[in-house]
Structure formats: C-alpha cells, structure tokens
Amino acid sequence: MISEQIKNTNYDTKLPFIIDIFNEIYNSNGNNFMRGCGSYLFNGQNYVYDETMKDKAVLLYEAAKNATNVFEIGVYMGHSLLVMLAANSKLNVTCVDIDNTYSPFAIDILKTHFPEANINFINDNSFSVIEKLTNDNIKFDFFHIDGDHSSDVVKDELLKIIPLSSEQSTKIVFDDWEVMSPVSSLIEDQFNVIDMHVPQCFCYNSYYELQPK
C-alpha cells in the first residue's frame, strides 16, 4: 500500500539534492517562471522551495520509486520529473507539454544529473500523443496527470491512458486534485479502487490504483 511506503520514505535524505537542481533549473532559464503557476516544490509566487508542498512531493516520490516506464502529462519546469527521478534515477519517462517555454531547459538539466534515465519530451497536445502511443502499442506502469486542470479534459485523459497501462491495474497521480474532484465521480462509476491516498497539504494531489469494472 502506498501509505506504508510514505510512512517509511527516505525523501528527506534526497531533499538537499532536489533543492540544488530546483535552483539550477531556475538559473538555466534566466531566473524566469510563470507567476501564479506553482509546482511540487514552490508556490508559484516566489521561486523558493516551499515546505508546505512536502507531503504531495513525498506521495509522487514514493509512487515513482518502483516504476519503470512513466507517462507524464504536464512538464512545466520539470519539478515533478525531478522528484520522480530522485526516487528512481533509471526511469524511462515520456512526458508531454503543449507549452515549451520552460520545459526544454529543465529537461537538459535533468538529463545531466540523471544520465541513466531515458527522458523523452514531446511538445504537443496530450490527446495527440496518447493516440500515437496507443497506435504504437507503447505501455507504461505509472502515470502522472498535471496538464490541463479542467475536469472534463482530465476525465478524457484518464479514460484514454487506461489502454496504455502495462499492468492489470493502472497507477496514477493526479496533481492539484482539489480542482479536479469531479473526476472522482468517474472513478467511482467506472473503476474499482485498489489503493488510494490523498495527502493533507497545500495544492494537494492524489494517488489511485485503478481497475476497470
């Protein structure tokens, strides 16, 4: 169960390393960020590590620790990728973002610090990428959804990534779950919940392991 992993996490030992790279990413793009758009590591107002985000970062960290192939929707400044790679430096990651203002800088930094990882960044619409991955029969064992935060889009993304799962159950972290709570109705209607966890923190996320009914 993911709750047991969180209880025994070693995230704190990796945090100084994570913060160093977090700052390096900022420097690499000229100390710019999209004001009002935060991440797993800062609040979107000031580019300073924010301790109030820790519980959601730990959840993502532990969820990625035993993964092999990850599909991520929404890259921004690469902070979620950084957290996942700190947990597992040999991840194969396919990540997509429709906006490439900040992502390429972050990807270059992460490839330098995690040379054993395979990071494939695609600058495109999530549905176009999902369709191509489906046609190519590419499979993943963990998913992170953090792109368009409208519930209708996330519902469609959820339904379309299920066939991409390499396992009978699909393991997913949804970021900013508080604005996507209508997705929980879809989950209740169409899936059996094998495991789930929602941390109590600022801009919280959620973890689900799902099987179609």
Q: Going residue by residue through the chain (213 aa), what tens digit of pLDDT does each one get? A: 999 999 999 999 999 999 999 999 999 999 999 999 999 999 999 999 999 999 999 999 999 999 999 999 999 999 999 999 999 999 999 999 999 999 999 999 999 999 999 999 999 999 999 999 999 999 999 999 999 878 899 999 999 999 999 999 999 999 988 877 789 999 999 999 999 999 988 889 999 999 999
Q: Which of 55, 72, 75 is nearest to 198 (CA)?
A: 55
H helix runs in 136-197, sequence order: 151-161, 183-190
CA distance 116 to 44: 30
| β partners of residue 142 | 70
Q: Is the pTM of this model over 0.95?
A: yes
For domain 2-212, the CATH architecture is 3-Layer(aba) Sandwich (3.40)
**Sign of torsion, CA 79 99 148 157?**
negative
